[in-house]
């Protein structure tokens, strides 16, 4: 069983509890004569159909051989360049186990490439796996786990005129709640299929008065949604807290298409059962360069910026999501431990503005950090002609909401722990490591 100790963390980091387990090296062999029905279709069902199906966001469906075959060469090119499926974590450093990993393994990638290179044969139709059932275009994905939502909160409608400038719509709406409830899952989507064409992202801040004993980081951001992110499922025995009188402050970024589109954003909420109180409270925190002056990128320049976030309590990090715009190229999240040792948690080495992936750490891999740890976010922006997404390398770029402006922060889900809880988690990880199990 490999551990991060083999990458230089050392015994000190183990004692501090900054440990995680990683899987043994894959040993599956690439089939010599792969066919679509037996070898490729299962990969597409697991890693591609979530987007590549009728009524979803991808431009083509990849469910059947007839749908896939015309795109075989393009698929080969995209997967070999690791542009698809969109998953931009550097696979050579940091944590590599995620709950929502949609990347192709080396074996899966090699199977697809070999299948295309051998002529993309269909194979025996009897080998085709049963069709996967997906919610319709406006169905809730989490409903298959939790049933229909307990509550749906909607923003007020906005009409984005054809060809208009980008708009940031910021209504505040009340949450119809008369008692304290704990949230175990949240899912967000544009209200209509057409709305998917104009909605770039939707932030929702939680506004509520909290008694002093509840305040750790404040209510904070309730949810951040963007293309590539569906929602958030809280870790077992953890949740977000909604109080009576709560309101949601929306911040929705709309961009124009070739027709007028009126839409709203919907947020589905699933609660824990009444009386069931999770032990931990999760906070979605914005870490990084925010506000005027935080970003300052000269023309024809690659610029690096750093920012720091202190942990005044022990914590477990649940997920990491970089946020930049067209000139964003890479972002890393590091922990500077109280001992002075610096450890890379995650590094996105190929940020793509069209996909705002949230990387959700597996339960046994989510990093445990002691009180006094300093989290460091480093962002790289490429304002040169080498960046094919750069709208103009000859202009000075600063911080701003517009796509042609820049940002450089990360959304990090944090669960704060008491010192006793932290030590118990550390001991549990140590036991797992000693036993070589999860």
Q: What values do phi and psi take at 38, rounded to 5?
A: -90, -35
Whether 84 contacts 99, CB under 8 Å: no
* Helices 106-117 and 72-80, axial angle in degrees (round to 10): 150
- Cα separation, 235 vs 216, whole angstroms: 18
Mean pLDDT of 129-150: 83
One DSSP character per residue, 43-99 reads: HHHHHTTTTSSTTSSSSS--SSHHHHGGGHHHHHHHHHTT-SS---B-TTSS---BT
Instruction: Look at residue 142 and tell me whether its pLDDT is greater than 60.
Output: yes
Give me the pLDDT at residue 218, please: 56
Name the strand (E) or helix (H) holding 107. helix 106-117
Strand, coil or helix: 335: strand
Burial class (CB in 10 A: 0-12, 13-18, 19+), 354: exposed
For 147-187, the DSSP string reads -S-SEEEEPPPEEE-TTPPPEEE--EEE---SS-EEEEEEE
Domain extents in the chain: 31-127, 139-277
List C-alpha distances in Å: 415 to 45, 139, 332, 436: 33, 30, 20, 26
Position 325 pLDDT exceeds 70: yes
Q: State the average pLDDT over residues 187-216.
A: 80
Higher-confidence position of 20 and 425: 425
Q: What is the CATH number of domain 139-277?
A: 2.60.120
How does residue 25 score in pLDDT terms, banded at 50, 70 and 90? very low
Strand-pair partners of 213: none
**Confidence check: pLDDT of 211 > 80:** no
* 353 vs 343, higher pLDDT: 343
Say whether 376 sits in a helix, a strand or coil: strand
CA distance 360 to 348: 13
45 vs 54, more confident: 45
pLDDT at 17: 46
Q: Is the pTM of this model over 0.85?
A: no
Rounded mean pLDDT of 45-51? 87
Please state the rounded mean pLDDT for residues 97-109.
Answer: 89
* 256, HSE (Cβ side, Cα atoms, 13 Å): 11
**Predicted pLDDT of residue 3:** 34
Q: Is the pLDDT of residue 265 over 90?
A: yes
pLDDT value at 92 more than 80: yes
pLDDT at residue number 344: 95
Tokens of 241: 């807290």
In this prediction, residue 400 carries a pLDDT of 86
Distance CA 103, CA 47 (A): 7
pLDDT above 70 covers a percentage of the chain that reads: 89
> How many alpha carbons fall within 13 Å on the CB side of residue 76?
15
Q: What is the mean pLDDT of residues 301-324?
A: 93
For residue 200 the two structure tokens come to: 């770039």
Inform me whether the pLDDT recorded for 220 exceeds 80: no
pLDDT at 22 (0 to 100):
41
In contact, 248 and 177? CB cutoff 8 Å: no
Distance CA 358, CA 345 (A): 14
pLDDT score recorded for residue 290: 66
CB of 186 closer than 8 Å to CB of 268: yes
List the single range of 55-64, 119-128, 151-160 with lowest mean pLDDT.
Answer: 55-64
* Beta bridge partners of residue 159, listed in sequence order: 262
User: CB count, 10 Å around CB of 2?
Assistant: 12
Please, are residues 132 and 49 in contact by the beta-carbon 8 Å criterion?
yes
Q: Is the pLDDT of residue 320 over 90?
A: yes
pLDDT at 426 over 80: yes
Closest C-alpha to 252, from 174, 156, 353: 156
Of the segments 52-66, 198-212, 339-353, which one has the largest average pLDDT value? Answer: 339-353
33, burial (CB in 10 Å: exposed 0-12, middle 13-18, buried 19+): exposed
Would the pLDDT of 12 be above 90? Answer: no
């Amino acid at each position: 069983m490999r551990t991060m100790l083999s990458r230089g963390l050392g015994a000190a980091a183990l004692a501090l509890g900054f440990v995680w387990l990683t899987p043994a090296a894959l040993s599956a062999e690439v089939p010599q004569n792969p066919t679509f029905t037996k070898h490729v279709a299962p990969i597409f069902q697991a890693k591609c159909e979530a987007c590549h199906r009728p009524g979803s966001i991808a431009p083509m469906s990849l469910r059947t051989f007839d749908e896939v075959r015309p795109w075989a060469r393009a698929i080969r090119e995209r997967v070999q360049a690791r542009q698809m499926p969109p998953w931009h974590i550097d696979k050579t450093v940091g944590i590599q186990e995620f709950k929502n990993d949609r990347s192709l393994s080396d074996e899966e990638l090699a199977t697809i490439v070999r299948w295309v290179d051998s002529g993309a044969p269909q194979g025996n139709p009897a080998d085709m796996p049963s069709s996967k059932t997906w919610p319709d275009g406006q169905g809730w994905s989490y409903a298959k786990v939790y049933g229909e939502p307990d509550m749906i909160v909607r923003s007020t409608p906005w009409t984005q005129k054809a060809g208009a400038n980008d708009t940031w719509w910021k209504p505040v709406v009340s949450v119809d709640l008369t008692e304290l409830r704990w949230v175990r899952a949240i899912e967000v989507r544009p209200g209509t299929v057409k709305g998917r064409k104009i909605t770039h992202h939707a932030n929702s801040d939680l506004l509520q008065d909290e008694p002093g004993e509840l305040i750790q980081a404040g209510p904070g951001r309730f949810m951040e949604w963007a293309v590539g992110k569906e929602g958030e499922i809280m870790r077992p025995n953890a949740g977000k807290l909604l109080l009576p009188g709560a309101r949601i402050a929306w911040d929705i970024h709309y961009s124009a298409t070739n027709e007028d589109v009126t839409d709203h954003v919907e947020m589905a909420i699933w609660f824990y059962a009444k009386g069931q109180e999770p032990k931990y409270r999760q906070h979605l925190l914005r870490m990084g360069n925010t506000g005027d002056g935080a970003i300052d990128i000269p023309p024809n320049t690659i610029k690096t910026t750093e920012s720091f976030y202190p942990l005044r309590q022990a914590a477990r990090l649940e997920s990491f999501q970089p946020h930049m715009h067209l000139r964003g190229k890479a972002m890393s999240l590091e922990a500077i431990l109280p001992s002075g040792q610096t450890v890379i948690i995650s590094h996105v080495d190929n940020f793509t503005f069209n996909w705002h992936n949230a990387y959700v750490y597996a339960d046994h891999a989510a990093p445990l950090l002691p009180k006094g740890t300093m989290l460091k976010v480093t962002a790289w922006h490429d304002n040169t002609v080498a960046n094919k997404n750069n709208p103009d390398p000859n202009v000075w770029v600063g911080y701003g909401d517009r796509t042609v402006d820049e940002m450089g922060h990360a959304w990090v889900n944090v669960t704060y722990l008491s010192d006793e809880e932290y030590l118990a988690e550390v001991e549990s990880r140590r036991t797992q490591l000693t036993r070589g199990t999860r």
